């Protein structure tokens, strides 16, 4: 999706940038890991195929992808972050949105670098992404190109997670997702945002959306556009 091709989302400890050709080599190395292939239900690709995939994702209006970069200790807390700074940051994963239709938008995240797991990077990256796709951006410092998909209705958000992947299930629960069903054939759970399992209806949508900003102590000032 081209809507984010010139946009970086800046958080306290991570920065999200569009998936570009300079990221493909590292991504290709990640996807040689059998565990990552299994967790992401992916097939191994050649490097040439990875470049083709990156170009396809860039143009596909049904996919929104950001690469997750880790801010160094020297960069954390700095308001003077530049596009050049992002080039020196370590790639640690990616975060995606898949637009099925107006009633179903699936989000997923992968922290590929093991030393950055269990450190809050995935939580912050998802908060940044969820705010980006649900905000109308009126009165905000953040901007984006127009897209027929954005902003989305937060009640359409869902995640599909392996039933045994307890860390990911706990992660999405922190963001306001609840299990809506178990899919036996894939041994996975479907989790919907603000879902009330007792009524099978959304509940406390505004409260959970507010928590995306408040709990991470991020604000609109840190969700700004960087021309890269």
Beta strands in the chain (DSSP E): 9-10, 14-18, 63-70, 90-101, 104-111, 157-162, 177-183, 188-193, 195-196, 201-202
C-alpha dihedral over 202, 149, 219, 221, to 10 degrees? Answer: -170
CATH of 1-118, picked from 3.40.50.300, 3.40.630.30, 3.10.20.600, 3.90.1150.10, is 3.40.630.30
Q: What is the pLDDT of residue 84?
A: 81
Q: What is the pLDDT of residue 73?
A: 67
Environment class of 130 (CB within 10 Å of its CB; exposed 0-12, middle 13-18, buried 19+): buried
C-alpha span between 177 and 158 (Å, rounded): 8
Local structure of residue 56 (DSSP, 8 states): H
Helix axes 121-134, 205-214, angle to 10 degrees: 120
Which has more pLDDT, 166 or 142?
166
* CB-CB contact of 102 with 46 (8 Å): no
pLDDT, tens only, 44-93: 999 999 999 999 999 998 999 999 999 976 655 555 677 788 888 999 99
Mean per-residue pLDDT for 150-174? 94
Question: What percent of the chain clears pLDDT 90, i.e. is strictly above it?
Answer: 62
Q: Where are the domains of the chain?
A: 1-118
Q: What is the pLDDT of residue 77?
A: 56
pLDDT, tens only, 173-198: 999 999 999 999 999 999 999 999 88
Q: What is the pLDDT of residue 224?
A: 46
Element (H, E) at 203: none
- The SS3 assignment for 85 reads helix
């Amino acid at each position: 999706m081209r809507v984010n091709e010139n946009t970086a989302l800046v958080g306290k400890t991570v920065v999200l940038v569009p998936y570009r050709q300079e990221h493909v080599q590292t991504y290709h190395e990640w996807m040689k890991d059998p565990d990552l292939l299994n967790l992401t239900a992916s097939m191994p690709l050649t490097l040439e195929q990875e470049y083709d995939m990156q170009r396809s994702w860039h143009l596909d209006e049904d996919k929104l992808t950001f690469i997750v970069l880790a801010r160094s200790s020297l960069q954390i807390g700095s308001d003077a972050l530049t596009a050049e700074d992002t080039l020196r940051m370590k790639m640690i994963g990616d975060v995606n949105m898949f637009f099925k239709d107006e009633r179903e938008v699936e989000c997923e995240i992968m922290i590929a670098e093991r030393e950055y797991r269990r450190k809050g990077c995935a939580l912050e990256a998802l908060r940044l992404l969820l705010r980006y796709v649900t905000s109308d951006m009126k009165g905000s410092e953040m901007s984006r190109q127009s897209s027929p998909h954005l902003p989305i209705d937060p009640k359409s958000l869902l995640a599909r997670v392996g039933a045994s992947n307890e860390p990911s299930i706990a992660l999405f629960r922190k963001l306001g997702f609840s299990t809506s069903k178990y899919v036996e054939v894939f041994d996975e759970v479907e989790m919907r945002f603000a879902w009330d399992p007792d009524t099978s209806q959304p509940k406390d949508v505004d409260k959970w959306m507010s928590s995306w900003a408040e709990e991470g102590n991020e604000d609109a000032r840190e969700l700004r556009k960087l021309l890269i």
